[in-house]
Amino acid sequence: MGPHLPLGHQTGRLALAGRDFLTERLDALRAAGNLRRLPGNPAGIDFWSNDYLGFSRLLGRGHASELVHTAPGSRLISGDHPAISGLEADIAAFHGFPAALLFGSGYSANLGLLSCLARRTDTIVYDELIHASLRDGIRLSGAAARRCPHNSLVQAARILTAARGDGQTFFVTESRFSMDGDRAPLAELADLCHHHGAHLIVDEAHAIGLDGPSGAGLVAQLGLAGAVFATVVTYGKAPGYHGAAVLGSNDLRDYLINFSRPFIFTTAPRPAYVTGLREVYDLMGTQQPELRQQLQRVIEGYRSLATEHLGELAAPNDGPIQLVHLPGNERVMALEGHLRERGLLVKAIRSPSVPPGTERLRICLHAFNSVGEVEQLIDGLTTGLAKISA
């Protein structure tokens, strides 16, 4: 396991304005003597872990790992280790933030962040296309939720103006959208949020690995680490792994340790997970530029063929998520079936996962797809579309 991640490409200017409510809520806990701190991995006789059979002492034997002796339990009890916090510090620096906190999945990171951050007196404005995990977090928070038409700065300004009240206001978006593959106007949204005293929260699930220096994300690419309140990076897409981290201020990390139920009431990551995640970041720092170029070539190849053969149905973009619009669940399923018969695995996205009338095929392009494979795909799409419209 490498001791350090390839860091240092950007540190991010930190405009901490508007983050005071975290300090206030943490101070209240501190004053009541209830502030939780991660314990590290203190020496002593284990009467606190959930390792009832001692399996954790048998697993990983023979592997030199400084983490082998963590015993399962939540990080607030027996599962913590300085190596986990060390990795989090390196992850934070990699993305240009002061702090990071790991979660078991992107779903629990989003749920855990939003559900504890906003309260009933607060307002959360959200882009209408955000992922289900963000929506569930918003619902759990009990805050007033305001839907914003997709990527509309005009509507965002109108809703933020109307939302001004006594509580905190948050704006939640994705940087690259999972279902449409397009990008949010993050710099403009950051300005807008700053103007309205709102906190910008960005899910980078589909940007990590693909955008920004060493794949650090769109927030890093645009130099916005100081202007966003929090971002969530997940490891189940381009990083090819699993789990997630919330990135933000040190106060935010402390706040989540104290208030975020999906963090508090779950088992800490095992040693192998931490080792694997270091490897992910090492790869992003080394092989990622080459693989990214390779992916870009595949995208360009797809774009030119799709423009030539599929016309308006495809409207290709510059990212790895491409759509072929084919309204109607039956028709889009028929196209998926036609491709499947040819050994082409593409997912039809039906309503109600997307609004009726916007059903589509969602094509994910990869660095490892060959020119021949893309040609096969275009051929399958062309013949399938001709058959369906006949």
Ligand X SMILES: Cc1ncc(COP(=O)(O)O)c(C=O)c1O
State the residues that interact with ligand X by CB under 6 A.
Answer: 105-107, 110, 131, 133, 174, 178, 203, 205-206, 234, 236, 244
Nearest-approach distance from CB 311 to ligand X, in angstroms = 28
What is the token pair recorded at 8? 């240092």
User: Which DSSP string corresponds to 133-159?
Assistant: HHHHHHHHHT-EEEEE-TT-HHHHHHH
Nearest to 118 by CA among 199, 227, 204: 199
What is the chain's alpha carbon radius of gyration, rounded to the nearest angstrom?
23
Nearest-approach distance from CB 137 to ligand X, in angstroms = 10
Nearest to 256 by CA among 241, 244, 274: 244
Q: Which is nearer to ligand X, 245 or 374 (CB)?
A: 245
Q: Give residues with Cβ within 8 angstroms of 356, minimum separation 6.
A: none
Contact 380, 339 (CB under 8 A): yes
Residue nearest to ligand X (CB): 106
Nearest-approach distance from CB 243 to ligand X, in angstroms = 7
Nearest-approach distance from CB 208 to ligand X, in angstroms = 11
Q: Which is nearer to ligand X, 100 or 244 (CB)?
A: 244
Q: Which is nearer to ligand X, 99 or 246 (CB)?
A: 246
| Most distant CA atoms of the chain, gap in Å | 74
Contact 87, 93 (CB under 8 A): no
Q: Which is nearer to ligand X, 203 or 359 (CB)?
A: 203
- Burial of 219-230, coded b for 16+ CB within 10 Å and e otherwise, reads bbbbebbbbbbb
Nearest-approach distance from CB 234 to ligand X, in angstroms = 4
Q: Which is nearer to ligand X, 110 or 369 (CB)?
A: 110
Specify the 3-state DSSP secondary structure of 160.
helix
Q: Which is nearer to ligand X, 206 or 278 (CB)?
A: 206
Nearest-approach distance from CB 131 to ligand X, in angstroms = 4
Q: Which is nearer to ligand X, 224 or 378 (CB)?
A: 224
| E strand segments, the chain | 99-103, 123-127, 144-148, 169-174, 199-203, 230-234, 244-248, 321-325, 347-349, 360-364
User: Which DSSP string corresponds to 222-253?
Assistant: TT-TTT-SEEEEESSSTT-S--EEEEE-HHHH
- State the distance between the two ends of the chain, measured CA to CA, in whole angstroms: 58
Q: Which is nearer to ligand X, 262 or 384 (CB)?
A: 262
Q: Which is nearer to ligand X, 197 or 240 (CB)?
A: 240
Nearest-approach distance from CB 241 to ligand X, in angstroms = 9
Nearest-approach distance from CB 118 to ligand X, in angstroms = 18
Nearest-approach distance from CB 179 to ligand X, in angstroms = 8
Distance set, CA 61 to CA 69, 70, 83, 149 (Å):
10, 13, 18, 54
